[in-house]
């Protein structure tokens, strides 16, 4: 449980590579990505890979941001659907515009297979418009 902010953790299998899509249409505020199962969930969170979070966010319908060790403003259009690709082997978390396949951002310092991670979602402002997981695919590699 998170004690201050509205976050939800998902559950996924342990495939080497996993991809899922999230519908965030009509949302002006959201946070999407993955977090280590052991990441701090109490108090004011610092969303960064150093703290076990690989996320992007939209705030007040403004600019899209990647919450890396230093916050990066993404000069991209705001997607209605976001694709999230987790590759344990490459230690990479990549975000796509799921409608046109364009690249939004990649964390190249992502979690390894020894890290238990979980999908992270937040509607942030708790309005009535939902965040919806659209599809989940897992691909095992040899």
Q: pLDDT, tens digit, for every residue of 116-133? A: 899 998 887 766 778 888
By the 8 A CB rule, do 17 and 84 touch?
no
Three-class SS state of 50? helix
C-alpha 42/C-alpha 110 separation (Å) is 22
Q: Which domains are present in the chain?
A: 8-139 (2.60.120.920)
Find tokens 């946070």 and name the residue.
31
C-alpha 130/C-alpha 137 separation (Å) is 21
Query: pLDDT digit string (tens) for 47-106?
Result: 999 999 999 999 888 889 999 989 999 998 999 999 999 999 999 999 999 999 999 999
């Amino acid at each position: 449980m998170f004690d201050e902010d509205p976050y939800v953790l998902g559950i996924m299998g342990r495939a080497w590579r996993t991809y899922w899509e999230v519908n965030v249409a009509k949302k002006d505020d959201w946070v999407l990505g993955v977090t280590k199962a052991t990441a701090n969930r109490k108090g004011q969170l610092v969303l960064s890979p150093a703290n076990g979070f690989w996320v992007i966010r939209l705030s007040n319908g403004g600019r899209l941001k990647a919450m890396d060790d230093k916050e990066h403003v993404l000069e991209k259009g705001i997607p209605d659907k976001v694709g999230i690709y987790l590759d344990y082997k490459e230690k990479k978390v990549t975000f796509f515009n799921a409608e046109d396949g364009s690249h939004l951002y990649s964390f190249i310092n992502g979690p390894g297979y020894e890290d238990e991670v979980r999908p992270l979602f937040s509607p942030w402002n708790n309005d009535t418009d939902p965040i919806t997981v659209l599809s989940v695919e897992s691909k095992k590699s040899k």
